[in-house]
Amino acid sequence: MKRFWKYVFPALFGLLMYLTVRVLNDTLSHFKVWKRAWSITAIELVFVIGSGYIIMYAFEKLFQRFDKKLQHNITFKTVLRELLWVVIITAVINNVIVTPMVALTDDGLSWGDFANINIIPLLYCLVYYAVARSNKLLKAYINNKLLLEKITNDHLQTELKFLKAQYHPHFLFNALNTVYFQMDDNVAEAKKSIEKFSELLRYQLYDQQQTVPISSELHYLQNYIDLQQVRSSDKLQLKVHFDSSLNEQQVYPLLFLPLAENAFKYVGGDYCITIEARKENDQICFTVENSTPLVTDWIKETSSQPRNGIGLENLKRRLELLYPNQHTFTIHKKENSFFAAIQLQLT
What letter would DSSP give residue 33?
A: G
pLDDT tens per residue, range 36-56: 667 777 888 888 888 889 998
Position 301 pLDDT exceeds 50: no
Q: Residue 290: what pLDDT? A: 92
Q: How many CB atoms lie within 10 A of CB 86?
A: 20
Higher pLDDT, 43 or 221: 221
| Side chain identity, residue 231 | R
- Residue pair 329/302 in contact (Cβ under 8 Å)? The answer is no
**More confident site: 162 or 111:** 111
- Whether residue 308 contacts residue 297, with contact meaning beta carbons closer than 8 Å, is answered with no
Question: Is residue 155 over pLDDT 70?
Answer: no
Q: Taking the C-alpha atoms of 89, 91, 94 and 99 in order, what is their torsion angle to the nearest 10 degrees?
A: -150
Query: What amino acid is encoded at 251 in this protein?
Result: V
Residues near 185 by beta carbon (within 8 Å), at least 6 away in sequence: none
pLDDT, residue 158, reads 57
* Residue 5: DSSP 8-state: I
Each residue's pLDDT tens digit, 73-122: 677 788 888 899 999 999 999 888 888 877 777 666 777 778 888 888 89
CB 181 within 8 A of CB 231: yes
Residue 302 has pLDDT above 50, yes or no: no
pLDDT beyond 60 at 165: no
Structural domain boundaries of the chain? 2-162, 166-345
Q: Are 239 and 218 in contact (CB under 8 A)?
A: no
* Percentage, residues of the chain above pLDDT 70: 80
CATH of 166-345, one of 3.30.565.10, 3.40.50.300, 1.20.1090.10, 3.30.365.10: 3.30.565.10
E runs forming strands in 76-184:
none
What does each C-alpha distance from 241 to 60, 221, 338 come to in angstroms?
Answer: 71, 12, 18
Rounded mean pLDDT, 30-38: 65
Q: Are strands 283-291 and 337-345 parallel, antiparallel or unpaired?
A: antiparallel
Please tell me the distance from the alpha carbon of residue 93 to that of residue 53, in angstroms, as a whole number: 11
Pick the range with the lowest mean pLDDT from 3-17, 106-120, 330-344: 106-120
Lowest mean pLDDT among 66-75, 88-97, 331-340: 66-75
Helices (H) and strands (E) in the chain, counts: 12, 7
- Taking Cα atoms as reference points, which of 266, 314, 310 lies closest to residue 288? 266
Task: Enter the DSSP assignment of 106.
Answer: T
- The residue-averaged pLDDT of 150-162 equals 61
Distances (CA, A) of 285 to 96, 269, 330: 77, 26, 11
